[in-house]
Structures are given as structure tokens and as C-alpha cells.
Amino acid sequence: MKICVLGAGLVGGPMALDLAKDNEFEVYLYDINESRLENFKTKGIITEKADLSNKDILKGKIQHADIVLNALPGFLGFSTFKTVIECGKNIVDISFFAEDPFEIEELALKNNVIAIMDCGVAPGMSNILAAYGTTLLDKTDNILIYVGGLPKVRIWPYEYKAVFSPIDVIEEYTRPARYIENGNLIVKPALSDPELINFPEVGTLEAFNSDGIRTLAKTLKADNIKEKTLRYPGHIEKIILLRETGFFSKDTILINETPVRPIDFTAKLLFKKWKFEENDEDITIMRVIVEGTKNNEKIRYTWDLYDTYCKTTSIHSMARTTGYTATMVIRLIKDKIFTKKGLFPPEYIGFNEKCVKYLLKGLADRNVIYKETVTKI
């Protein structure tokens, strides 16, 4: 089976490595940055420099693919996703684009492909576990997701680093947060409703509203659905200060007669502060809570993830937890456990217990472990 991985960044590269370990896969890795590809030329991966923002080049590179794995930045995500579907290729996507994927639902059916988007840790496994939780209950009341990727060592001023581009991170701070409350869709500013939560592995973190439920607002039936992002305490205030001052604005301003978008200037500065260096260690924390009624009893299902940078492979935790979800979904398709044609958010996988167990085992084999707890409320 030929797999084309689009993007050799901090997540795309490790995904290609994981897939290349499987003798049933022939892995191709494309990126516009030649230096990124250098790290993978001796790893049993076929690498090639390519400008994947060019639609014709993209079509040419994927013409031989059985499955395409899209790890391009969010601003290229939707157009790439659509082009791959138009080419009649199966696709698993972690680009986390802002556009409504259901716009091309009919296109996926027409082209008879499997198209699964948002296939990371959150969105991704968060959706899968939330959906799975609903299948274990007679009625679902609450779905609550807490998730954050953080540096293990806290360095002033932001105490934050990211495996994703600063532009994609800033989206979390600017895009209004949607959630379901008492059955109604509510919209609030990102970074709102802060709360402090203690996690045994790291201590106290602060949580805030972010636009993370995405497709869950349409696909799951629950009275309340919310996702909150986790950061070290004090982060919210610093980011709100930048946002309200206008540093994240996309409106062009003139500086010495030169047009500049503040968000581009800010991202350039923050890249140096937020970039993970080669040996910087990170952690990923996620908690998925699903509450409801089963056999007339109030039940809470909780899945906890605490994952760290892997010193053996030098792969960051966020790359592991995000990327291995996607590579296990590719194996799910390869092994014909998930065979439905069309466009699917990850929660559709979560409705199938066999799929969930397969993913959890594959992730555990890669030392990405979700601990399940069941309690009566």
C-alpha cells in the first residue's frame, strides 16, 4: 500500500517514520523544505521536495497513492483535502482547517473515497473517546474535554512552546469558542471562563474556552459539550493583552509606508519563543469526561492521557499523540476494519467499539496510554 505523507514537519516526519516500520507500506514524504527531508532520506522513506500549495504539483505527487496523509498547515488544509478527494484518493487529515468539512461531504461520496479529518489527539482521539462514551450510556448529559501540549520546563515569559506553527496556535486565541450548553449552541470569546485544575503529574493548570468541539456540535447528542485548552497559570492574561492590543489582527497597517499584518509580525517574533528545539521535552495532557445515565444510574466515564517526550526516539509528545492517532487510523483502513465510504469526522470511528479498541491498543503499543475510569456520580 502506497502512502503519501504531505508535510515533513514536527508531526509529519514522525508519522512517516511510524508508517515506514510497517512492511506493508511504501511511504512517500513530500515537503517544500529540503532541509526537513534530509532527516528521513535514510529511514526507508522516499522523499521529494515539492511545493504542495500548487494544485497541479499536488495532483502529480499523489496519483500513485492508496492513502494520503495530510500534515500541511491549517491554511492549506481544506484546499488540499478537497483536491485529494477530487483525485479519488483516500485521505486522513491532521491539518485542522477552519472551513466546514461537510461542504464537501457529497464530493467524498461521489468520488467513493474514505476521507477522515481532524485525526489527531484533540481534535481526534478526543472526538473518538467522546463518541465512544455516548455508546456506553442510555442518555448522555455532559461531554467535557481538557487538553494541552506544554513544555516540560517552564521558561519565562510564556512558559509555552508548540510543535505547530505560531499562526495555527494563535487561531486558538482568536477564533470564537463554540460549545453546547443545555442543548443550545453558545459562542464566547476564546480564553474566556478560566478555571484552575490540578493534575497529579504536573500540578495546577489553567483552562479556558477554545473552539475545540468542532464537528461534535453536529454529530453528538448531549445536553452540554465543551472543550477547554490547558496552559500553565498566567498564560491567559499575557495572551489576552497581546490580542486586545491588536497584535493578532489580520488587518494591514502601514509601518514606514510598508504594509504589514500585525499577526504576521507577531508570529515571526513568537516563533523564536515558542519553537521546540531538538532536545526540548514536552508533555501532552488530556482528560475526556462523558457523563450520563445507564440503567437508571448516573455514570461518569473518564479517559486520562499523560504523555511525555520520548528520549529514545527524540520525538515530541505532541507529535506522538497527534501523529500516531492518524497512523493507526490508516492501519484501521488498511486492515479493513473501517471501510465506509464518504467524509467522516473522527467521532464516527468512536461509534464502533472494535475500531476504538484497535486504536487504543495500537497507541498503547507506542506507549501512548489512555487510562479509563468509570465512577458512579
Which residues have CB under 8 Å from 42's CB, separation 6+?
none
| pLDDT, mean of residues 199-216 | 95
Q: How confident is the model at residue 10 (pLDDT cuts 50, 70, 90)?
A: confident
Q: Are residues 284 and 140 in the same domain?
A: yes
Residues pairing with 183 in the sheet: none
Average pLDDT, the chain: 95
Give the whole-angstrom CA distance, residue 83 versus residue 240: 36
Q: Are residues 144 and 267 in the same domain?
A: yes
Q: Are residues 74 and 201 in the same domain?
A: no
Tell me the pairing of strands 342-344 and 114-116.
Answer: parallel
Give me the CATH number covering residue 302.
3.30.360.10
Domain finish residue from 315, 331, 352: 315
Residue 376 lies in a domain: no
pTM of the model: 0.94
Strand ranges inside the chain, DSSP E: 2-6, 26-31, 46-49, 67-70, 90-93, 114-116, 139-151, 177-181, 184-188, 195-199, 203-209, 224-231, 253-255, 258-260, 282-294, 297-308, 342-344, 370-376
Give me the CATH number covering residue 36.
3.40.50.720
The pLDDT value recorded for residue 353 is 97
Residues 344-370: tens digit of each pLDDT: 999 999 999 999 999 999 999 999 999
The pLDDT value recorded for residue 193 is 96
Q: Are residues 216 and 348 in the same domain?
A: no
Which residues have CB under 8 Å from 199's CB, separation 6+?
205, 285, 287, 306
Domain finish residue from 315, 330, 356: 315
- The yes-or-no verdict on residue 12 having pLDDT over 90 is yes
Give the whole-angstrom CA distance, residue 134 versus residue 221: 8
Residues 232-248: tens digit of each pLDDT: 999 999 999 999 999 99
Task: Indicate the number of domains in the chain.
Answer: 2
Domain finish residue from 288, 315, 342: 315
Which residues have CB under 8 Å from 54's CB, separation 6+?
none
Domain that holds residue 10: 2-120+318-369
Residue 254 lies in a domain: yes
